[in-house]
Amino acid sequence: MTLMNFIAFFGLLTGCFIIFSISPLNIIDLLGNLFKSKKPTIKEKIEEATNKKKQKGLRLLIQEAKQILIATNKSNQFNMLCIFSFVFFLLGAMIAVSINNYILIPVLAGGLSLIPFWYVKFTGIFYKKHLNVELETALSVITTSYMRSESIITAVEENINYINHSVSEVFRSFLTETKLINSNIKMALEVLKFKIDNDVYREWVDAVIACQEDKSLKSTLIPIVSKLSDIRIVGAELDYLLYEPMKEFITMAILLIGNVPLMYFLNRSWYETLMNTSVGKVILTLCTLVIFISLSAAIRLTKPIEYRKVQK
């Protein structure tokens, strides 16, 4: 009966949204603005301007999901991602209510609502691996042409048709800017530098900018491109170890979740204690919380090898 009332309430809420043409995203934005500080401090303004303010928790996850969607040219799907998150939130609440465990509602609803963002973050791992391979090919052929012609525009033009779409669009915008907007190559390279979030790529662009002043520095480009080859080789060797945290999480989660129906058939009294007593409900809630925390940690640890400069 409680579950039916719960479904009827959300059906009524959905009907109100449709009748009055109210978007759930507007409600989410309005609620989010209530928790924002009215006036940021000077320190917060400085950290935001210098990009030194580190985001944590839920804000960091949402920001990373946004950046991945932008990088994969799917930024218009962010609203759909929020809708899926809201649907999973309702699904988690309904499951908790259906088993008459009200303590589980915030944990299950909150955890399931984060699954779409975790999924985007996990798929971003494969995108970064693919991007490293495409960058290795693109920078290699462009560098080879640049060593011969000593003109970055000529080098890009000669190889733009042989570069895959994920990287070619960035260099096409560079050609468009240098030919139609601004003939200042250095300025165009500075814009090009921030089109792809990759440290080796940015180091390569910095080296190309330096070559505009001194052509003898073009010999520094080949060692930079070779770093991408090293990353690919090391990543292939450690590919099994990189996904080990996710494999261990999936195994332990299946064992933990599978014990609940297994307990129903092996020992009915234990099952009744777990599902119907206060202590059992608290234990079930804690186990669910551990699953979501472990999932977040597994996704954070499962990431491709990247080149990073050591800052002293």
Q: Looking at the predicted structure, is the pLDDT value of residue 34 above 50?
A: no
DSSP state of 36: S
Instruction: Give the pLDDT confidence score for residue 46 in this predicted structure.
Output: 56
Instruction: Give the pLDDT confidence score for residue 136 in this predicted structure.
Output: 84
Q: Looking at the predicted structure, is the pLDDT value of residue 274 above 70?
A: yes
Q: Looking at the predicted structure, is the pLDDT value of residue 260 above 70?
A: yes
Per the prediction, the chain carries an average pLDDT of: 78
DSSP state of 194: T
Supply φ then ψ for residue 35, to 5 degrees.
Answer: -95, -5
Residue in the block written with tokens 């202590």? 279
- Residues of the chain with pLDDT > 70, as a percent, come to 79
Band of the pLDDT at 37, cuts 50, 70, 90?
very low
Tokens encoding 250: 């999936």
DSSP state of 216: G
Q: Which 3-state string (H, E, C) describes 87-147?
A: HHHHHHHHHHHHCCCCCHHHHHHHHHHCHHHHHHHHHHHHHHHHHHHHHHHHHHHHHHHHH
Section 277-296 average pLDDT: 90
Tokens encoding 64: 């990373």
Supply φ then ψ for residue 303, to 5 degrees.
Answer: -150, 150
pLDDT tens digits for range 174-193: 888 887 777 788 888 888 88
Band of the pLDDT at 292, cuts 50, 70, 90?
very high
Among the residue ranges 44-48, 151-155, 222-226, 294-298, the one predicted with the least confidence is: 44-48
pLDDT tens digits for range 59-106: 778 777 887 887 777 777 887 888 888 888 888 888 888 888 888 888
Name residue 134's amino acid.
E
Tokens encoding 228: 């991408």
Section 204-208 average pLDDT: 88
This prediction has a pTM of 0.71
DSSP state of 277: S
Tokens encoding 176: 């468009």
Contact in structure between 305 and 242 (CB atoms under 8 Å): yes
Among the residue ranges 16-20, 90-94, 178-182, 196-200, the one predicted with the least confidence is: 16-20
pLDDT tens digits for range 146-163: 888 888 888 888 888 888
CA angle, 93 as apex, 87 and 99 as ends, to 5°? 135
Band of the pLDDT at 291, cuts 50, 70, 90?
very high
Section 122-146 average pLDDT: 84
**Domain boundaries, given as residue ranges, for the chain:** 57-113, 132-237, 238-306
Q: Looking at the predicted structure, is the pLDDT value of residue 224 above 50?
A: yes
DSSP state of 302: -
Instruction: Give the pLDDT confidence score for residue 286 in this predicted structure.
Output: 92
Q: Looking at the predicted structure, is the pLDDT value of residue 35 above 50?
A: no
Q: Does residue 43 or residue 64 have the better pLDDT?
A: 64
Q: Does residue 238 or residue 143 have the better pLDDT?
A: 143
Q: Looking at the predicted structure, is the pLDDT value of residue 282 above 80?
A: yes
Contacts 24+ apart (CB under 8 A), 257-260: 257/291, 260/284
> Whose CA is closest to 14, among 82, 76, 68, 86?
86
